[in-house]
Amino acid sequence: MLLIACPYCGERPELEFVYGGEAHIARPAAEADLTAGQWAAFLYARTNDRGVHAERWRHTHGCGRFFNALRDTTTDQFIAIYKAGEARPPAVAAPEKP
Name the site residues for another protein (rule: CB under 8 A). 1-2, 14-15, 17-19, 21-22, 36-37, 39-41, 43-50, 53, 55, 71, 73-76
Per DSSP, 68 falls in state E
Which of these, 60, 76, 55, 72, lies nearest to 8 by C-alpha position?
A: 60
In the complex, minimum distance from the CB of residue 9 to another protein, in angstroms, rounded to a whole number: 18
For residues 19 and 60, the answer to whether their CB atoms sit within 8 Å is: no
Q: Closer to another protein by CB, 59 or 71: give it.
A: 71
In the complex, minimum distance from the CB of residue 3 to another protein, in angstroms, rounded to a whole number: 11
**Residue 54: burial class (beta carbons within 10 Å; 0-12, 13-18, 19+):** buried
Q: Closer to another protein by CB, 8 or 73: give it.
A: 73
In the complex, minimum distance from the CB of residue 37 to another protein, in angstroms, rounded to a whole number: 5
List phi, psi (to 5°) of 21: 80, -175
Q: Closer to another protein by CB, 27 or 44: give it.
A: 44
In the complex, minimum distance from the CB of residue 48 to another protein, in angstroms, rounded to a whole number: 4
Per DSSP, 69 falls in state E
